[in-house]
Amino acid sequence: MAASIDEESTAKPSVTSEEDPLAEERLGYVREVGSQAVWSLSSCKPGFGVERLRDNIMDTYWQSDGQLPHLVNIQFHKRTNISQIYIYTDYKLDESYTPSRISIRSGTNFNDLQELQVIDLTEPNGWVQIPIKDGNVKSLRTFMLQIAVISNHQNGRDTHMRQIRVHAPCGGESKHYPLELFGKFGTVDFQKFATIR
């Protein structure tokens, strides 16, 4: 079942249960740059911290512990192009812990964050794709992204997010080398070496 989104910005986020952020990575159109950033949270329950957002396991999750809004801060060491963010949520398992309103912010540091868009989610189940654009440009160059959970379903206090992936566009068409040309690399060991830094 696809969840619906009402939005206040011009971007067109999509939510479907069949959405797969790894598909575009495997095809070589985008690369995951979240591993190049420093991640921090506004709060977390012991054992349910930022490492749960980045472990590629859909059964684990970050659980906040405090007052709304709940924040995920993603800081890059240098200006980085960002084209989209994927957030994995599961309303069937998390119910009142599932975010219903998310704000995406960008800036150079905590002091100058600007809101890019606000997204309303209705019972999301699966990957939520949020395109990040700077006007007509297909990506945004930034030092910092912040994902703010403004409210949860059923007026829940704490939130669960299961995974977050941050994508940057790959170079031009001439640099497009899909992994499928070289065979199937599906194991974790092969995925570790899928990109060259």
Q: What pLDDT, in 10s, does the model give residues 65-108?
A: 999 999 999 999 999 999 999 999 999 999 999 999 999 999 99
Residue 6 has pLDDT above 70, yes or no: no
Question: ∠ at Cα 146 (144, 151), nearest 5°?
Answer: 175
Q: How far apart are CA 165 and CA 149, in angstroms?
A: 16
Instruction: Count Cβ atoms within 10 A of the Cβ of residue 47 and give its class: 0-12 exposed, 13-18 middle, 19 or more buried.
Output: exposed
**Contact in structure between 99 and 89 (CB atoms under 8 Å):** yes
Model confidence pTM above 0.75 = yes
pLDDT in tens, 147-182: 999 999 999 999 999 999 999 998 654 455 555 666
Q: 21-173 adopts what CATH topology? A: Jelly Rolls (2.60.120)
Amino acid 28: pLDDT? 82
Read off the pLDDT of each residue in 115-122 and give the average, rounded to a whole number.
95
Residue 178, preceding peptide bond in cis (omega within 30° of 0): no
Q: How far apart are CA 179 and CA 27, in angstroms?
A: 6
Q: Taking the domains of the chain in order of start, what are their residue ranges?
A: 21-173
Read off the pLDDT of each residue in 24-51 and give the average, rounded to a whole number.
93
What 8-state DSSP symbol labels residue 137? B
